[in-house]
Structure 1
Amino acid sequence: MFRNTAFRLLLLGQVLTSFAGNALFLSLGVWAKDLTGSNTAAGLVFFFVTLPVVCGPFIGHVVDRFHRRSVLMVACGATAALVMLLLLVHSAHRMWLVYVVAAGYGVAAIFVRAAQAGLIKTLIPPQDLAAANAYLRSAGDALRVVSPLVGVGVYAVTGGPVLAGLVAGLYVLALVVFRLLPRTRDTAEGTGREELSLRRLGAGLRHLWSHTPLAVMTAAVSAAFCVLGFFDSTDFAVVQESLHRAPSFFSVLTSVQGAGSIVGGLTAALLIRRLGEHRTAGIGLAVMAFGALGMTLGGLAVVLGAFVLFGVGVPWLAVGYSTTWQRHTPGPLIGRVSTAADLSMLGPQAASVLLGAVLIGFVPYRVLLLVCCVVLLGAGIALLVTHDRSSDRDPEAGTPSSPADSGPDDRAPRNRQTEQTT
């Protein structure tokens, strides 16, 4: 994989954008809390970051209409400029600027994920898709452990303006890296003038649910994400009621889970080569289920082990799912399918976060964790039982259901040749 120059550039670009985004994400919440003293104000930051997922179909349509490299460059440049608005925030009266930056970051993150998915599909040979996704996932998980601590540390020591400058600088560096990528030719020619219709906006969701391998995987993943939001509430209950530690100990559990995710990411490609995407994702869900079960037990060692186990399972699920929809989706449709996959995961998760926050007030946390265990295990078993080996071997199985789904340029055969720009 690392002999592929395009992949190395993609990986470096993701490292820069992930580090910048993760450093900014948590720090904005801390900044809001410092300015207002309100937990609600801090929570609204995370709400505004996730809110743009509802615009996913439109964002996917835009990504599919333009060159993916250009989309990445514009997204990074726009985010760098947007972050500089934080230099104007000096009091609670300008909290609205923090929310604007949070929402803008959320939009840019969706553009970046969708465009990267398209470039992976184009620049990486089909047999290397799983390995590419696994390495990218491992890098992202490693940065999720480190970058929030760096971001909050920079904010605490030097203040918000310095943090804003650091984040903006990282996005500019990412723009330069993405500029070095080869310019692909398998998308629409970037005119952006094709007719916008609900049919085209919904092409990604239709593609996910109209092809059996994708529909089965998407159903299982959506079911799992219907309970994953419960962990946002139960994790703190585990810390306080089971381990009898201060809430700050949650950062230790997060780091431990992140370490498990790194291991899972590094082994995901090997599992997919041996077992296929469906079985790997199914095993990942089962491992997450046993991790949830372990969280119901007492003892520090057991709980730490449960978080490690849960962390290992997450990349097996994520890499298995992403590799499946990439392999079964034609290049010109990849942006809309990427955002549809996001919506299939983050939509149920957002609902489960709210539901979990309500239920934790009167339902014992162990009961909620057992519900998570049952749902995750059931989804995992469903993938293992419905596994179709042929679906894991056909990288070009997916095609748009009709010309209207993908636009006039989508009917052209994929051309994997690339054009190096100067």
Structure 2
Amino acid sequence: MSTRRLLAEPRARRYLTGQTLSLLGDSAMWLACGIWVKELTGSDGAAGLTFLFFTAPALLAPLAGLLVDRMPRRRLLMVANLAGAVVLLPLLAVHGPDQVPLIYAVMLLYGCLHLVVEPAQSALLTTLLPADLLADANALLRTVRESLRLLAPLAGAGLYAVLGGAAVAVLDMATFLGAAALLLTLRGPDPVPARPERTGGVLRHWAGEAAAGFRHLARHPLLRRVVLATTVLALVLGFGESTGYAVVDRGLHRPPEFLGVFQAAQGLGALLGGLVSAAAVRRYGEVRVGASAFLAWSIGTACAATPLLGVVLAGRVVSGAGLTVMVIALVTLLQRSTPDHLQGRVYAGFEVTTSVPQTVSIGLGAYLIGVLDYRAVLCAEAAVAAVAALLLLRATRFVVPPADAASGTGSGTAGAGHDGGHDDRARAGARSPAGAAPSARP
């Protein structure tokens, strides 16, 4: 019923259509860039570094979050999408190994845009939908995003194999422009968040404003522990940017283009995870569902260490489901725990606390894959992910049911979140404050 209500909102439908267009191009572009670098250099590590350059600007996220909390979100997203089309233009000049730095430079700029687009999308969604539809929107948007992995990786790899990387870049440019055009059709208010009065010196004031998201995460008893568990997982999550190529090449003895099938299997799992995640969160709570998702990622990663194609692909399905459910659960928890005027900065702060260790893990993974057996790297990733799942599960004791959280002030309270079906109070008085939406771009 909630999904029907969501799709009955005209502006929500346009927004979802725009994101679907944009994500179709993005999913194809991501895989094409990795394959492109792999074929130009012959190096698994060099291919994995494409994602390293994307995540490198993560330390600037607090400034991006502050920008989102100070500007009209719809207008900001339109400008970002138009800029995305321009950023891709240098890829048209890549013809050989000497131009690989151009691919890295584009991914770096892509990462800068991502820092603005992610929190802006989260904040914009709160103006498009009533608060009680946000949790379902999280699941639906993430499902749309991940379900494209069933088509876009194969299409991207196929388009790259036939026409080359430049053709995939042109496709992504077109989807950026299409998304910007659909944002233009979203009628209605595009409010600018209220600005607090300036206190102290200019530098001190803006530094304090930029750090507000981190302060909220640090002072919130539950979010503080969730950040710890997620950071532990992020310390190995980036290994997959290099191990994926090694699994296809060394383990399965397939050409690099087979990574499209590999990614499509993860997309299938993501689709399945997205379909059940909203109901699971409502019944069991964000923290328990998130811990289960961490464990699913661990199991799926371990499966990739075998030389059996069926087991590897099954593991990718499990990993895809785990990743999607993980994001939906954590984003919903952020929604319930953060006041509206901090949404951009809290989202950005959470992005930093996870992206920085993930960036380190990408570089570390690219190094380890060159000196260790890829199976040892996969087993290490699986073990650390299991530890992160246990850490997150321990955080359930700090969960406050919605009935209690609703008695606080503002859109979020110190103990917001819910404990699922194991607490009678969590079945009544549920409250879903406005907050962040799941990322619609990678």
| TM-score of Structure 1 vs Structure 2, range by shorter chain | 0.7 to 0.9
CA contact (8 A) 2:302 2:382 kept: yes
| 2:216 counterpart (198, 207, 220) | 207
Q: Helix, strand or coil: the match of 1:183?
A: coil
Structure 1 residue aligned with 2:440 = none
| 2:412 counterpart (370, 394, 397) | 397
Identity %: 35
CA contact (8 A) 2:148 2:267 kept: no
Please give the alpha-carbon distance, in whole angstroms, between the structure 1 residues aligned to 2:375 and 2:95: 43
Q: Residues 85 and 322 from structure 1, CA distance in 2 versus in 1: closer, same or farther, beyond 3 angstroms?
A: same
1:117 Cα deviation after fit:
0.7
CA contact (8 A) 1:20 1:167 kept: yes
- Aligned residue type for 1:332: H
Map 1:76-155 onto structure 2 (within 5 A): 76-87=81-92, 98-155=103-160
Deviates more, 1:52-61 or 1:268-277: 52-61
- Aligned residue type for 1:20: G
Structure 2 residue aligned with 1:307 = 316
CA contact (8 A) 1:272 1:280 kept: yes
Please give the alpha-carbon distance, in whole angstroms, between the structure 2 residues aligned to 1:213 and 1:366: 35
| 2:330 counterpart (321, 324, 332) | 321
Structure 1 residue aligned with 2:302 = 293
Q: Deviations over 1:153-211 (max 9, x none)?
A: 44554456554443322212111211222334362379xxx956222222222222221
Structure 2: 5+ residue runs without aligned partners?
Answer: 1-5, 415-432, 436-442
Please give the alpha-carbon distance, in whole angstroms, between the structure 2 residues aligned to 1:337 and 1:221: 15
TM-score calculated relative to the size of structure 1: 0.82
How many residues are treated as equivalent by the alignment?
398
Structure 2 residue aligned with 1:265 = 274
Structure 2 residue aligned with 1:53 = 58
Structure 2 residue aligned with 1:180 = 185
Deviates more, 1:370-379 or 1:194-203: 194-203
Structure 1 residue aligned with 2:418 = none
1:284 Cα deviation after fit:
0.7
Q: Deviations over 1:306-358 (max 9, x none)?
A: 22212211111111111111221122221112222222222111211222233
Matched, 1:274 2:283: yes
CA contact (8 A) 2:154 2:260 kept: no
Please give the alpha-carbon distance, in whole angstroms, between the structure 1 residues aligned to 2:47 and 2:175: 24
1:29 Cα deviation after fit:
4.7
CA contact (8 A) 1:145 1:258 kept: yes
- Aligned residue type for 1:170: T
CA contact (8 A) 2:242 2:365 kept: yes
Matched, 1:21 2:29: no
1:293 Cα deviation after fit:
3.4
Q: Deviations over 1:218-245 (max 9, x none)?
A: 1111111111122334444444555455
Q: Residues 76 and 329 from structure 1, CA distance in 2 versus in 1: closer, same or farther, beyond 3 angstroms?
A: same
1:212 Cα deviation after fit:
1.4
TM-score calculated relative to the size of structure 2: 0.79
Please give the alpha-carbon distance, in whole angstroms, between the structure 2 residues aligned to 1:87 and 1:106: 19
Q: Deviations over 1:381-417 (max 9, x none)?
A: 2322321442566472248xxxxxxxxxxxxxx999x
Structure 1: 5+ residue runs without aligned partners?
Answer: 400-413, 417-422
Q: Residues 99 and 223 from structure 1, CA distance in 2 versus in 1: closer, same or farther, beyond 3 angstroms?
A: closer
CA contact (8 A) 1:82 1:101 kept: yes
- Aligned residue type for 2:66: H
Q: Helix, strand or coil: the match of 1:65?
A: coil
